[in-house]
Structures are given as C-alpha cells and as structure tokens.
C-alpha cells in the first residue's frame, strides 16, 4: 500500500554519518517531540548501541505534555536513554545533562578527548542545542531545514568535543512518516501539495477535538461544522487569500495554517503518540 519515497542527496550524507557515528563515544539523536517516531532515523538506530546513544526529544514546548511523557517512557521501556525538553525554554538542559557523563574519566581512558555527535533530521534543533553548549562562538540556526551545510567539530571544554551535523532524512520514507514530516515542514515544497498536507493536519486536529483552536485563532464566526474544507475556506477569506478570479485560494490558506502550526500558534499539538501508532503503517513500505 505505502509508497517508498527516496529523498535525493541523502545517501552520501547517510554513509558519512554512519562512519562518524561508529567513530565517536556518544551519540545524541535529536527528535521532534511532536513526532518522535517519524523524526527518528531507522538507519541510525540500527547501528548505534543504546549504551552509547541518548534520545533527546526537543521542542517539547510545541507538543502535548502528556504525549511527550508517554514517548519518553516508551523509549525508556525499550532500554534506551531518553530525555524530553525544550532547548528554547530550558537552554542549560543539555550542558547539565553532559555534566552527568563522566567526561574526564572517559577522555583519560581513551587518551584523547571524549567525542559526542549530534544527529537528527533537518530542523529539529541540533545547532540550537550546540549553541546552548557554547559560550561565545555560535553556529548558524534557522527556521527551515538545511541550515547546517557541513559537519563541524567544536571544542566544548577540555576533554570534550562535539560534532554538529547536517540534518538528514532517511533514504526511504513510508507514507505515515512522509505525512508527518511534511506537516512539520521537513519535505521540500516541490514534493508536496500544501492543501493535502493541511488536510492531514486538520484530520489530526479533528481527532483530538481541537477544532475550536482553529476557530478562535482565525476568528471564524460562520458555522463550519468542523469541516476541514470549510475551515480552510474561512481562513482564506479572512486572510485575503484570493485567486485571480476572486475565489478563495485554498493553497495559500493551507500555507498559512501550516506555518501557524509549525510556529506553535495553534498551541501544543502532538502528531503521533506511542499508543496510536500502528507499527505496520510504518514498516510495510520500508525497504
């Protein structure tokens, strides 16, 4: 049923990251707390042992607290080290966490600095986390995928080096993951239809009975009967998204809705929970 979607350009980076991951002492895999399974790279989880990996669920300010807690427990129940946080709200959380790792001891044992690598799909906050560990130097961050263009080693403190990496998507992405990544804005615009993605987001909002958030955000007064298409029409009318013939441009309205979701303007919304997820939806089209 599911399509296999090849993400152009990834294999080169995947191989490079695979090599680096094997050569370092610890791996911090950053996930988006709104969609931890969809933002996890199965290729990496296959090659990293849980003892060397920490799963960091970032952007918890944008996700539903209860669901994020469930994800953290889910990973821990599977024998993985996991921590959820918002680096924006709690900028010291990772440096505090690294203090718990016995860096000095590891670097003495290794006879060189302890090396940590930060990996993850684009835009999950890898560089923001890296910056949180630096005092003066900064690396570039930005609200769109693909900001970091090359891997860079940074000396955090004596005995500790950290590598901020380029965000990569796995080479094969199934339908459920593709939809979640598209809602999060991680799939190239040329590969998606914004209206289709907005409908998928509204399906999720509807399932959580959160339509009233849309109604109040956009000041909708007409009776829209929680109908996604009508809501999109209303957003378009109210935000002046009109086509050349004066008709509402649903594509432009969809882009507004998606941008608002991504920036948290609709309130915290989780796109997937460990309970809801049907593993076969994720696995059936993977190669």
Which residues of the chain form contacts with ligand GTP (CB under 6 A)? 58-59, 61-62, 86-88, 120, 122-128, 141-143, 145-148, 167, 264
- Of 29 and 234, which has the nearer Cβ to ligand GTP? 29
Query: Which CB sits closer to ligand GTP, 59 or 252?
Result: 59
194, 258 Cβ separation under 8 angstroms:
yes
- Judged by CB under 5 A, the residue of 60, 68, 107, 127 near Mg ion is 127
Cα–Cα distance measured from residue 118 to residue 203, given in angstroms and rounded to the nearest whole number:
33
Q: Is the Cβ–Cβ distance between 63 and 34 less than 8 Å?
A: yes
Q: Would you state the structure tokens that stand for residue 149, as one six-digit string?
A: 């263009």
| Strand stretches in the chain, DSSP E | 5-6, 26-32, 53-58, 81-84, 114-119, 152-157, 160-164, 172-173
What gap in Å lies between CA 131 and CA 114, rounded to an integer? 18
Q: Which does 86 bind (CB under 5 to 8 A by kind): ligand GTP, Mg ion, none?
A: ligand GTP
Residues making up the chain, counted from first to last: 287
As given in the structure block, the two tokens for residue 186 are 């991680």
Nearer to ligand GTP, 15 or 78 (CB): 15
Quote the tokens at residue 183.
């809602």
By beta-carbon proximity to Mg ion, the closer residue of 10 and 285 is: 10
Distance CA 280, CA 63 (A): 24
User: Least distance (Å) from ligand GTP to the CB of residue 36?
Assistant: 14
**Six token digits for residue 77:** 């129940």
Residue 264 touches which of ligand GTP, Mg ion, none (CB < 5 to 8 A by kind)?
ligand GTP
Q: Is 128 in the site for Mg ion (CB under 5 A)?
A: no
CB of 272 to ligand GTP, least distance (A): 18
CB of 56 to Mg ion, least distance (A): 14
Applying CB under 5 A, the site for Mg ion has a residue count of 4
Strand, coil or helix: 248: strand
Residue whose C-beta lies closest to ligand GTP? 167
Cβ 166 to ligand GTP shortest distance, Å = 6
Report in angstroms how near the CB of residue 115 gets to Mg ion at its nearest.
18
Considering the rule CB under 5 A, would residue 130 count as an interface residue with Mg ion?
no
Element (H, E) at 196: helix 194-207
Span from 24-32, 145-153, 194-202, 253-261 in contact with Mg ion (CB under 5 A)? 145-153
Q: Which does 87 bind (CB under 5 to 8 A by kind): ligand GTP, Mg ion, none?
A: ligand GTP
Q: Hey, what's the torsion of the CAs at 83, 88, 89, 95, to 10 degrees?
A: 50
Contact footprint for Mg ion (CB under 5 A): 126-127, 147-148
């Amino acid at each position: 049923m599911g399509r296999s979607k090849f993400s152009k350009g990834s294999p080169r980076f995947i191989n490079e990251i695979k090599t680096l991951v094997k050569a370092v002492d610890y791996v911090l895999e950053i996930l988006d707390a709104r969609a931890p399974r969809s933002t996890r790279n199965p290729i990496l989880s296959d090659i990293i042992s849980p003892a060397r990996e920490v799963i960091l669920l970032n952007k918890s300010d944008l996700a539903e607290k209860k669901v994020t807690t469930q994800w953290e427990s889910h990973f821990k129940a599977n024998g993985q080290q996991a921590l959820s946080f918002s680096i924006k709200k709690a900028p010291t959380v990772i440096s505090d966490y690294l203090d718990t790792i016995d860096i000095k001891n590891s670097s003495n044992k290794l006879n060189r600095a302890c090396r940590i690598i930060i990996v993850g799909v684009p835009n999950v906050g890898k560089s923001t986390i890296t910056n949180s560990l630096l005092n003066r130097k900064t690396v570039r961050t930005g609200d769109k995928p693909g900001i970091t263009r090359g891997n860079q080693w940074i000396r955090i403190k004596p005995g500790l080096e950290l590598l901020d990496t380029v965000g990569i998507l796995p080479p094969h992405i199934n339908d459920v993951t593709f939809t979640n990544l598209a809602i999060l804005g991680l799939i190239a615009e040329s590969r998606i239809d914004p209206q289709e993605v907005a409908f998928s987001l509204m399906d999720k909002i509807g399932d959580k009975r959160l339509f009233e958030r849309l109604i109040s955000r956009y000041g909708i007064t007409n009776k829209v009967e929680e109908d996604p298409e009508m809501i999109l029409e209303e957003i378009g009318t109210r935000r002046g998204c009109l086509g050349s013939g004066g008709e509402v441009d649903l594509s432009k309205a969809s882009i507004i809705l998606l941008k608002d979701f991504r920036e948290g303007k609709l309130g915290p919304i989780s796109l997937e929970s460990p309970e809801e997820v049907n593993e076969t939806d994720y696995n059936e089209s993977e190669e």
